[in-house]
Amino acid sequence: MRILSVALVVGVLLACGGGGRSTTVAGADGAEVDVAAVASVARKLRAQPQRADEILAEAGWDRVRFEAALFTIAEDPKASVRYAKLLQQQP
């Protein structure tokens, strides 16, 4: 029973953020920005800049909100580095 309890705790910890590596960052207004989600859209925008508005709309963003998310990421050094690394991955 003890083994089961330990396994459940470990499982929950792993499932909730992959060992503590959260992908969200809080902005000045308290809103949470998902760095991975923004980077995913950014990769698509880089690949097809002529489809910018379509790509943003498909992902549920508009230009104002997307730029605000980029500002929020830029304010956080760790989130900035993480975004840059995620941007390297294929769309």
33 binds other proteins (CB under 8 A): no
Please state, in angstroms and rounded to a whole number, the distance separating the CA atoms of residues 20 and 8. 16
Q: Is 66 in the site for other proteins (CB under 8 A)?
A: yes
Question: And the tokens for 11?
Answer: 């499982």
The answer to the question of residue 31 lying near other proteins (CB under 8 A) is no
Q: State both tokens at 83.
A: 């975004």
Residues with Cβ within 8 Å of 12's Cβ and at least 6 positions away in sequence, in order, are none
Which of 53, 24, 50 minimizes the C-alpha distance to 39?
24
Cβ-based nearer residue to other proteins, 11 or 60: 11
Binding residues for other proteins (CB under 8 A)? 1, 3-4, 6-8, 10-12, 14-15, 17-19, 21, 23, 28, 36, 42, 45-46, 49-50, 52, 56, 63, 66-68, 70-71, 73-75, 77, 79-89
